[in-house]
Amino acid sequence: DERRILQYQITLYGDDERLVMARDITRLHRLEQMRRDFVANVSHELRTPLTVLSGYLETYGDLKEMLPPRLSKGIGQMEEQTKRMQSLVNDLLLLSRLEIDRGGEDHQPLEVGSMLESIRRDALALSNQQHSVQVALECEARLVGSEQELRSAISNLAFNAVRYTPEGSQITLRWVALSNGSACIEVDDDGEGIDPVHIPRLTERFYRVDKGRSTATGGTGLGLAIVKHVLLRHDAQLQVESLPGEGALFRCVFPPSRVVNS
Ligand code: ADP
């Protein structure tokens, strides 16, 4: 008498007829859970060896000048690839955590302005001050949520805006009140944009418009999947507007229940 998980589909015909279909998805659910646990465990187990590797590489890095050029170049590449693996493992861990528990324990009203200001500084540092990054506050309300999660979601959007736009581009982080009591955080750039055919798939893990290009920019391929999960946990929605050559606009729309006027 183990618990089963059923999925119902109800179709209405006219006023008084309905068709109810039930599907047993217990097995599917269990498989999905196993997949999540597996990813979480593997990511966790990979952390320790990576920390050890990067520790040694740091020590060797200090000796680079004394080594023949071929060796020191190799160490440089190992450092780079180890960092990439570490970001990948960190993003995988974060994503599994977001999928496994429901969250909500650390939700509180946040000052969006100061959060966007600090993300602006990080984005500028990533771009080596080669982009113009601005914050526009068009809403005075506070946002109820997890500061840590929202910061990582909006940072991902801002870092993408830096990575997928040429130097000199203009990026704006905006907090905007909408007419029905909801509000949104927008990340807007005037870079290369995205062909609309790709937009519905952007939040899939490892989905990339241009595979070669994205690997070179240092992304993990998980950024927008993280954004999507963080927003789901905040009852919010991600909207993407873009055309090739005309920049991209990522909009996170929060419902009125998440927006408090102080
Ligand atoms: P990645 O690590 O590849 O950046 P993401 O999930 O963050 O992974 O993004 C998925 C893909 O969406 C990217 O590979 C890129 O092709 C596209 N993309 C994301 N943000 C932008 C943007 N601001 N402008 C153009 N393309 C973007």
Nearest CA to ligand 1 atom 1: 221
Which is the closest atom of ligand 1 to the Cα of 209?
A: 16
CA distance 225 to 203: 5
Query: Whole-model pTM?
Result: 0.89
Closest by alpha carbon to 76, among 98, 58, 102? 58
Closest by alpha carbon to 42, among 73, 12, 85? 85
Predicted local confidence at residue 212, as pLDDT: 72
Closest by alpha carbon to 79, among 66, 98, 60, 107? 60
Which is the closest atom of ligand 1 to the Cα of 205?
A: 6
Kindly give the confidence (pLDDT) of every residue in the chain, 262 residues in length, as a single tens digit, with 9 standing for 90 and above. 578 999 999 999 988 899 999 999 999 999 998 999 999 999 999 999 999 999 999 988 888 888 898 888 999 999 999 999 999 999 999 999 998 888 889 999 999 999 999 999 999 999 999 999 999 999 999 999 999 999 999 999 999 999 999 999 999 999 999 999 999 999 999 999 999 999 999 999 999 998 776 667 778 999 999 999 999 999 999 999 999 999 999 999 999 999 999 7
126 Cα–ligand 1 center, Å: 15
Q: Residues near 77 by Cβ (< 8 Å), separated by ≥ 6?
A: none
**Ranges assigned E (strand) in 25-151:** 108-110, 132-138, 142-145
192 Cα–ligand 1 center, Å: 11
Of 157, 173, 214, 230, the residue with max ligand 1 atoms within 8 A of its CB, to mutate for a pocket test, comes to 214
111 Cα–ligand 1 center, Å: 27
Give, for 259, the enclosing helix (H) or strand (E): strand 259-260
Q: Positive or negative, the Cα torsion across 97, 224, 211, 172? A: negative
Cα 24 to chain centroid distance, Å, stands at 32
Predicted local confidence at residue 145, as pLDDT: 97
CA distance 26 to 69: 58
27 Cα–ligand 1 center, Å: 34
CA distance 102 to 100: 7
244 Cα–ligand 1 center, Å: 13
- The 3-state secondary structure of the chain reads CCCCCEEEEEEEECCCEEEEEEEECHHHHHHHHHHHHHHHHHHHHHHHHHHHHHHHHHHHHHCHHHCCHHHHHHHHHHHHHHHHHHHHHHHHHHHHHHHHCCCCCCCEEECHHHHHHHHHHHHHHHCCCCCEEEEEEECCCEEEECHHHHHHHHHHHHHHHHHCCCCCCEEEEEEEECCCCCEEEEEEECCCCCCCCCHHHCCCCCCCCCHHHHHHHCCCCCHHHHHHHHHHCCCCEEEEEECCCCCEEEEEEECHHHEECC
242 Cα–ligand 1 center, Å: 12
1 Cα–ligand 1 center, Å: 46
Of 208, 217, 252, the residue with max ligand 1 atoms within 8 A of its CB, to mutate for a pocket test, comes to 208
CA distance 19 to 7: 14
Please check whether residue 36 is in contact with residue 99, taking contact to mean a CB–CB distance below 8 angstroms.
yes
Of 202, 238, 249, the residue with max ligand 1 atoms within 8 A of its CB, to mutate for a pocket test, comes to 202
Give the length of the chain.
262
